[in-house]
Structure 1
Amino acid sequence: MKISDSELEILRIIWAHDGRMMFSEIVDALHAKEFEWKNNTILTFLARLTEKKVLQIQKKGRRNEYIVLLTEKDYVENETKEFVGKVYEGEVKGLIATLVENDLISNQEIEDLKDYWEKNKE
Structure 2
Amino acid sequence: MAPKISDSELEILRIIWAHDGQMMFSDIVDELHKKEFKWKNNTILTFLARLTEKQVLAVQKKGRRNEYIALLTEKGYLEQETKDFVGKVYEGEVKGLIATLVENELISDREIEDLKEYWEKNKE
Residue of structure 2 in register with 1:73 after alignment: 75
Quick one: which of 51, 60, 63 aligns to 2:62?
60
Aligned residues: 122
Q: TM-score, normalised by structure 2?
A: 0.98
Structure 2: segments with no counterpart, 5+ residues: none
Quick one: which of 84, 96, 99 aligns to 1:97?
99
- CA drift at 1:5: 0.2
Residue of structure 1 in register with 2:38 after alignment: 36
Aligned counterparts of 1:17 and 1:69: Cα–Cα separation in 2: 14
- State the Cα RMSD in Å: 0.3
Aligned counterparts of 1:21 and 1:66: Cα–Cα separation in 2: 5
Aligned counterparts of 1:28 and 1:63: Cα–Cα separation in 2: 15
Structure 1 residue identity aligned to 2:54: K
Q: Relative contact order: is structure 1 or structure 2 higher (C-alpha 8 Å, sep ≥ 6)?
A: 2
- CA drift at 1:47: 0.1
Structure 1 residue identity aligned to 2:90: Y
- CA drift at 1:84: 0.1
- CA drift at 1:17: 0.4
Structure 2 residue identity aligned to 1:21: M
Residue of structure 1 in register with 2:7 after alignment: 5
Runs of 4+ in 1 over 4 A off after TM superposition: none
Q: TM-score, normalised by structure 1?
A: 0.99
Structure 2 residue identity aligned to 1:43: L
Secondary structure, counterpart of 1:3 in structure 2: coil
Structure 1: segments with no counterpart, 5+ residues: none
Percent of pairs identical after alignment?
85
- CA drift at 1:91: 0.1
Structure 2 residue identity aligned to 1:32: K
Secondary structure, counterpart of 1:104 in structure 2: coil
- CA drift at 1:55: 0.3
- CA drift at 1:4: 0.2
- CA drift at 1:9: 0.1
